[in-house]
Amino acid sequence: MLINERVREELRNGATPQAAISAGYEHAWATILDSNVTSMIAGVALLIFGSGPVRGFAVVHVLGLLTSMFSAVFFSRGLVNLWYGRRRKLAKVSVGQVWRPPTAARASARHG
């Protein structure tokens, strides 16, 4: 979701689709890493201070974070590059509707 929003933001700022994809992944990486490291600290704390089922949960939690981070960032980027990377110039990227502030011409056309 973060990557998708970052790509939309780049498209709103006028970037080309290829540049928006690249910048979207680069800008979202820090946020994704930060949230996963924070959750990983909690998992490691549970592993160290917990016992029995709590330690089992901590192991599964940490492994889940590592695999989800790998699949969410590296695997999805690989798929996006595979899907869009062959094309030199993209006309558009299917990431949903890109909201742009209304201009005077569009606003008068809607209300007129």
pLDDT in tens, 22-64: 888 888 888 888 888 999 999 999 999 999 999 999 999 999 9
pLDDT at 45: 95
pTM of the model: 0.58
Confidence band of 19 (pLDDT split at 50, 70, 90)? confident
More confident residue, 6 or 50: 50
Residue 76 lies in a domain: yes
Task: Please say if the pLDDT value at position 84 is more than 70.
Answer: no
Instruction: Give the count of domains, the chain.
Output: 1
- Contact between residue 57 and residue 71 where contact means Cβ atoms under 8 Å apart: no
Q: In the predicted model, is pLDDT for residue 111 greater than 60? A: no
Name the strand (E) or helix (H) holding 1: none
**What pLDDT is recorded for position 100?**
60
Domain extent for 11: 2-87
Exposure string for 24-60, b = 16+ CB within 10 A, e = fewer: bbebbeeebeeebeeebeebeebbeeeeeeeeeebee
Q: Does residue 43 sit within a domain?
A: yes
105 inside domain: no
Average pLDDT over residues 63-86: 79
Band the pLDDT of 2: cuts 50, 70, 90: confident
The answer to the question of residue 97 being in a domain is no
For the chain, give the number of residues: 112
CA distance 69 to 33: 8
For residues 50 and 59, the answer to whether their CB atoms sit within 8 Å is no
Kindly state the tokens that stand for 80.
């996006």
- Residue 62 CB coordination number (10 Å): 17
Structure tokens given for 35: 């949230």
